[in-house]
Amino acid sequence: MNRDEAIVAAFERLLEKAKRHLAEQGRDGSRPVVTVGTATCGRAAGALDTLAALREEIEACGVDAAVMEVGCNGHCYAEPLVTISKLGWPPILYGPVKPGLASVLVKRFLVEDDPCLEYVLGGLEPHDLIPALTDFPRSAYEMRVLLARCGRIDPTDIHSALAAGAYAGLVRALRTEPADIVEEIRRAQLKGLGGAGYDTWKKWKVCRESADPERFVICNADEGDPGAFMDRSLLESDPHAVLEGMAICARAVGAPKGYLYIRAEYPLAVERARLAVAQARELGLLGPDILGSGFAFEPRVFQAAGAFVCGEETALIASIEGRRGMPRIRPPFPAEKGLNGKPTVINNVKTLASVPYIFREGWRSFAAIGHRATKGTTVFALAGKVMNTGLVEVPMGTSLRRLIFEVGGGVPKGKAFKAVQIGGPSGGCLPEEKLDVPIGFKALKEAGAMMGSGGMVILDEDNCMVETARFFLDFTQKESCGKCTFCRIGTRQMLEILEDIVQGRGTEEQIALLESLAEDIRLGSLCNLGRTAPNPILTTLRYFRGEYEAHIRERRCPAKVCRALTAYYILPEKCERTCDACVGSCPTEAIWVNAKRFKVIDQSFCIQCGACLEACPVQYSAVVKISPLADLPDRGARPEGYEKKKEK
């Protein structure tokens, strides 16, 4: 038996072991299997309570069924999610499932064979067919490559991952020459999915051809963008996809060691990644002699320093080395001189998780996905004003309109779409007329946004674009490492201008100053945090300049969001005077009544929390928001006999 045959034989033995393990656990289809999504999104919705209720009810009913924890399948809006697979039935997905419903499902479906179709995710009529997860309408536009196993396997059990195809790509890579591995990545046209879109093979080639024999591979999982949770969910749901990609990269560049740099605020991802490393090492899929091939790779999980700037690769390296996370001037690039001065490949979680697919299915299969120069798929975290919040994976080239409205379900509550903020806090805000832009590095950049790591925040008519720009700039300004003057001081000056505008103190000259500062900061900053920080300002000025002008010229916030330019007012002609819902809801006791039960809001006490507006039961709300303040009715003309006395 030659070396290649020995590698294949060793892996086949592991697969047989995995199948026996799943059979012993009853997860081979021989008995009912109940899965619960217990990634962070599920836990936040109460999945652990649902899990406990399922186990308790199954034991109480004496049902022979296996209960398994899985990761996130992307439908975060419907958590906690439960799937029941039973002989004679297709797998049925239920959500949201609270503990009470969990007990009902066990009794009615597992015991009495009633599938409880009314609780199926999305709801079913009696004559409808039971849908598989791939049958949901959004699935027609999605393509699961990176998320293929998420929500299907137990992320704490490597045997579950092996049975679903994990490490098959590594087996092929171990039998491929390193130079040919790099060539495979080149032909697949895989680009870095951390935001830059740089050709992956070029980094690998530079590192592999370095004269220094000591090399490293680093996975950048320092996901710090507000509204982004793709890397976290992937590591919590399928950490072996990332580890396999790292091992293939290490084989290509000749790196015996690596680091999985995970954001410290992701404790579950850290826990599951460490467990995955230990399990893979125990089975010989990582470690000193992988599958008897003679190739060694030892990855280590490293908790990040907790700073947004550490997502920049040179700051990340400084953090691992024990120094303050601050970017340095490039070149030399990390592939030439990185960790400890040695050649280092740094790739994002999604980039590395794409690699096993290429080696399992072949470069032609990967290159057939996507469009033009942007191949493969991309994962977005949909957040904000959208029906189906959660993870989506679509082919490159999919339009923003399709992603938001067909996959994401559109804007809830009948509100009008206003903008999509794409690319993280340094991304751009694109209006409705840009929704037909295809998702890709070049197209989004031309529109004023960027791919970024994959965060996507949907904004509706109730969002103020000036305040949105201020919010994101406030984040990037606070996260600046302070090393370069343009970023440290320039972002502070821009933030002060935006604060003036939302407070009603803005001037016409400040708009031109904002644009000038933004261009200087873009050109003069050391790293991409500073270079891209002005993007929210530049795109909102480009597409929503009218809102800036309204704030400055009319002292008016069109969306009625900016507190200094708006006020809550109670319409006496619509107020049901027998109702005190607004009075009881006000946390600052700013609402006053008189003997005839008329009510007014004392603006000096009002903190504009909106509690009164939410509490008002009148169909055509008696509580309204007014902007500009000049429109506020004369509060001096109060009903006769009015006394300043708080309602208890």
On whether both 316 and 195 belong to a single domain, the answer is yes
- Tokens representing residue 141 in the block: 């536009």
Rg, C-alpha atoms of the chain: 28
The rounded distance, in Å, linking the Cα atoms of 329 and 527 is 8
Q: Please write the tens of the pLDDT for every residue from 417-463.
A: 999 999 888 889 999 999 999 999 989 988 888 887 788 999 999 99
| 54 found inside a domain | yes
When pLDDT is cut at 50, 70 and 90, the band that residue 632 belongs to is low
When pLDDT is cut at 50, 70 and 90, the band that residue 633 belongs to is low
CATH number at 491 reads 1.20.1440.230
The rounded distance, in Å, linking the Cα atoms of 249 and 178 is 9
Tell me if residue 197 falls in helix, strand or coil: coil
**100-109, 301-310, 384-393, range with the lowest pLDDT:** 301-310
- Tokens representing residue 298 in the block: 């030892």
Write down how long the chain is.
648
Nearest to 338 by CA among 487, 186, 206: 206
Counted domains in the chain = 5
Examine the fold and report which residue of 412, 438, 460 is the final residue of a domain before the chain moves on. 460
On whether both 353 and 212 belong to a single domain, the answer is yes
Q: Are 102 and 63 in contact (CB under 8 A)?
A: no
On whether both 381 and 244 belong to a single domain, the answer is no
On whether both 285 and 250 belong to a single domain, the answer is yes
On whether both 235 and 298 belong to a single domain, the answer is yes
pLDDT number for residue 129: 67
Nearest to 47 by CA among 107, 104, 102: 102
Query: Counting Cβ atoms within 10 Å, is residue 435 exposed (0-12), middle (13-18) or buried (19+)?
Result: middle
| 539 found inside a domain | yes
Backbone angles phi, psi at 409, to 5 degrees: 85, 0
Q: Does an H or E element contain 239, and which?
A: helix 239-253
Examine the fold and report which residue of 316, 337, 367 is the final residue of a domain before the chain moves on. 367
Q: Evaluate the CA torsion angle 393, 398, 402, 404 in order and state its sign.
A: positive
CB atoms within 10 A of CB 404: 24
Q: Which residues pair with 287 in a beta bridge?
A: 297
Backbone angles phi, psi at 124, to 5 degrees: -135, 150
pLDDT number for residue 395: 95
Q: Are 572 and 527 in contact (CB under 8 A)?
A: no
Half-sphere exposure in the Cβ direction for 44 (13 Å, CA) = 9
Q: Which positions ≥6 away from 280 have C-beta within 8 Å? A: 158, 167, 240, 243, 286, 287
Full residue range of the structural domain in which residue 36 is found: 31-135
Tally DSSP H helices, then E strands, for the chain.
Answer: 25, 20
pLDDT number for residue 648: 43
| 340 found inside a domain | yes
On whether both 440 and 505 belong to a single domain, the answer is no
66, pLDDT greater than 70:
yes
647, pLDDT greater than 80:
no
Instruction: Please name the residue ranges forming H helices in 488-586.
Output: 491-502, 508-524, 528-532, 535-543, 545-553, 581-585
Q: Are 164 and 153 in contact (CB under 8 A)?
A: yes
When pLDDT is cut at 50, 70 and 90, the band that residue 638 belongs to is very low
Q: How far apart are the first and last CA of the chain?
A: 88
pLDDT number for residue 547: 95
The rounded distance, in Å, linking the Cα atoms of 178 and 173 is 8
Q: Please write the tens of the pLDDT for every residue from 171-195.
A: 999 999 999 999 999 999 999 998 7
Q: Are strands 428-431 and 390-395 parallel, antiparallel or unpaired?
A: unpaired
* Comparison of pLDDT for 583 and 352, the residue scoring more: 352
CATH number at 445 reads 3.10.20.600
| 15 found inside a domain | no
Q: What angle do CA 323, 328, 332 make, to 5 degrees?
A: 115
- What percentage of the chain exceeds 90 in pLDDT? 69
Q: Are 238 and 155 in contact (CB under 8 A)?
A: yes
* Comparison of pLDDT for 641 and 341, the residue scoring more: 341
Q: Please write the tens of the pLDDT for every residue from 337-365.
A: 999 999 999 999 999 999 999 999 999 99
On whether both 56 and 81 belong to a single domain, the answer is yes
On whether both 353 and 377 belong to a single domain, the answer is no
Tell me if residue 279 falls in helix, strand or coil: helix
| 40 found inside a domain | yes
Q: 41 in the Ramachandran plot: left (φ > 0), alpha (ψ -120 to 50) or beta?
A: alpha
The rounded distance, in Å, linking the Cα atoms of 559 and 543 is 15
Nearest to 528 by CA among 445, 420, 437: 445
Helix axes 230-237, 349-361, angle to 10 degrees: 50
**Average pLDDT, whole number, for the chain?**
91
The rounded distance, in Å, linking the Cα atoms of 113 and 168 is 38
645, pLDDT greater than 60:
no
pLDDT number for residue 626: 85
CATH number at 87 reads 3.40.30.10
| 495 found inside a domain | yes
pLDDT number for residue 631: 66
pLDDT number for residue 506: 93
Q: Rounded to two decimals, what is the model's pTM?
A: 0.91
When pLDDT is cut at 50, 70 and 90, the band that residue 471 belongs to is very high
| 559 found inside a domain | no
On whether both 507 and 483 belong to a single domain, the answer is yes
CATH number at 338 reads 3.40.50.11540
Q: Please write the tens of the pLDDT for every residue from 124-136.
A: 665 566 766 667 7
Q: Are 504 and 565 in contact (CB under 8 A)?
A: yes
- The rounded Cα 48 to chain-centroid distance in angstroms is 21
- What percentage of the chain exceeds 70 in pLDDT? 95
| 9 found inside a domain | no
Examine the fold and report which residue of 460, 488, 517 is the final residue of a domain before the chain moves on. 460
Q: 367 in the Ramachandran plot: left (φ > 0), alpha (ψ -120 to 50) or beta?
A: alpha
* Comparison of pLDDT for 527 and 70, the residue scoring more: 70
Q: What is the mean pLDDT of residues 596-623?
A: 84
Q: Are 491 and 419 in contact (CB under 8 A)?
A: no
pLDDT number for residue 445: 87
The type of residue at 292 is G
pLDDT winner (highest mean) among 221-230, 329-338, 569-578: 329-338
When pLDDT is cut at 50, 70 and 90, the band that residue 10 belongs to is very high
When pLDDT is cut at 50, 70 and 90, the band that residue 639 belongs to is very low
On whether both 576 and 632 belong to a single domain, the answer is yes
pLDDT number for residue 330: 87
On whether both 188 and 217 belong to a single domain, the answer is yes
Q: Which residues pair with 390 in a beta bridge?
A: 382
On whether both 539 and 612 belong to a single domain, the answer is no
